[in-house]
Amino acid sequence: MFSRDQLKRAASLTDEDFVELGKCRRPHNRLGFAYQVAFVRLFDRFPQQQPFELFEELVCFSAAQLGLDPELIELYRKRQPTISEHQQTITGYLRLRAFDDAEAAQLEQFLFEESCRLEQASALMSRAREFLKEQRVLEPAEFRIARIVGEQRARAREHIFKRVAASVPNGLAGRLEDLLVVKPEGNSSGLQAIKANPSKPSVDAMLTLLDKLRVIEATGVLGVDLSWLNGNYQRALFHQVRKSSVTRLRELAEPRRRAALVCFLWQSYSDAVDQAVDMFDKLLTRAHTQAQNELDEQLCRKRQTIQLSLTALRSIGRIILDDAISDDELRVRLFAAVPREELVACVDEIGEWVRTASCSHPSKCRRCPTDSPTHRSR
């Protein structure tokens, strides 16, 4: 049930404990006293007496610290008066308090405040135990804590629903109810349209998200202040609406329905903004990647064109510079080395590339000294 480290942290006997144990004359009473001290520190309650509640691991751990035989606990468990007397002594020694009306009132107020931010009963049960331990109050029976948790959850819900509903103006209240109406020309409600989320990033999906933001803004719900309401609780109401059908929502009491719808729209708006930013980033990245790939392909084609043009230029240059070739046969030799169609294609490609490069940076071209008449004359 407990690891060795857990037992060391919570059930190790202190010097003060050994002083108290010195007051017990018999070995089995010392073991029983040590066991109850360790038990109350672990569970924040005393072991049950009828029958005496034993955890073998804890008995062995306590016995090992005292150098006693764990079997001595069998003698101790038979002495009911001694067990009760030790529990009273330990209560005073550890400055523990019984769970009475005053402690119950403190726990109720604590759980009410916690219920205003936590929805799950299991989380509230854990918080209740932590509170009692911090206050050095012995835990009552589990069903009593569970009952207080249930009562304070209901009380907190009622408080939250009424407060949110009271902050909803009449105009907004009507628009919230309209979201639950299935329009005759369609087969879904306005609420269902807000629930829908685009699956893949696209321009249409981005437009859908922007439409959702406009619809939520048009309701006026963003004017309702929810800063006082814990985000976890808002999220719980959001999920309740998201999982519920329109019919189920209509069956809820009006304050609860309005509070749930307000929280749903607020959370949906926040989520839609996050989705829109994320989708825009993905679309921008996709467009950048596509443009980069197209640019790379274009540059690759230009490199190929330049390579072909330089090859043709080399062939033409060799023929022109060959003094053994007469001017009359020069054109014949040129087109024999570089076919007319290939030469025309090279000239067209280079012309297009030069025009594009010149138009891209006209200011740079005007400043380039190699383009000036003075530079050419030199």
Residue 50 scores a pLDDT above 60: yes
Question: Mean pLDDT, the chain, as a whole number?
Answer: 88
How far apart, in Å, are the Cα atoms of 125 and each of 2, 48, 96, 129, 150? 20, 21, 20, 6, 10
State the average pLDDT over residues 310-326. Answer: 88
% of the chain beyond a pLDDT of 70: 92
What sign does the dihedral 341-343-346-351 (CA atoms) show? negative
Q: Using an 8 Å Cβ cutoff, are 238 and 258 in contact?
A: no
Q: Is the pTM of this model over 0.85?
A: no
CB atoms within 10 A of CB 64: 11
* Contacts of 287 by beta carbon, 8 Å cutoff, 6+ apart: none
Rounded CA gap, 76 and 30, in Å?
9
Q: What is the pLDDT of residues 147-188, one digit of tens each?
A: 999 999 999 999 999 999 999 998 999 999 999 998 777 678
Task: Over range 319-329, report the average pLDDT.
Answer: 87
Q: Residue 363 pLDDT more than 90?
A: no
DSSP output for 118-171: ---HHHHHHHHHHHHHHTTB----HHHHHHHHHHHHHHHHHHHHHHHHHTS-HH
Q: What is the pLDDT of residue 184?
A: 73
The strand pairing partners of 137, in sequence order, are 97
| pLDDT of 374 over the 70 cut | no
Alpha-carbon gap, residue 189 to 191, rounded angstroms? 5
- Whole-number Å distance between alpha carbons of 137 and 313: 98
- Cβ-based neighbours of 10, under 8 Å, separated by 6 or more: 2, 38, 41, 42
Q: By the 8 A CB rule, do 262 and 226 touch?
A: yes
More confident residue, 342 or 280: 280
Q: How many CA atoms lie within 13 A of 154 on its CB side?
A: 5
58: left (phi over 0), alpha (psi -120 to 50) or beta: alpha
Contact at 8 Å (CB) between 264 and 241?
yes
- The string of DSSP codes covering 225-258 is --TTS-HHHHHHHHHHHHHS-HHHHHTS-HHHHH
Q: Is the pLDDT of residue 371 over 80?
A: no
pLDDT band at 26 (very low <50, low <70, confident <90, very high): very high
Other C-beta atoms lying within 10 Å of the C-beta of residue 252: 17
**CA torsion sign, 68 to 70 to 74 to 79?**
positive
Q: Predicted confidence band at 353 (pLDDT cuts at 50, 70, 90)?
A: low
Q: Give the residue, 157 or 2, on which the prediction is more confident.
A: 157
Place of tokens 């070995």: 27
Average pLDDT over residues 119-137: 93
CA distance 116 to 158: 10
Label each residue of 29-91 as H, E or C.
HHHHHHHHHHHHHHHCCCCCECCECCCHHHHHHHHHHHCCCHHHHHHHHCCHHHHHHHHHHHH
pLDDT reported for residue 322: 86
Q: What is the pLDDT of residue 277?
A: 95
Please determine, for residue 205, whether its predicted confidence score (pLDDT) is greater than 90: yes
**pLDDT tens-place string over residues 103-112:** 999 999 999 9
Contact by Cβ (8 Å): 216, 272: yes
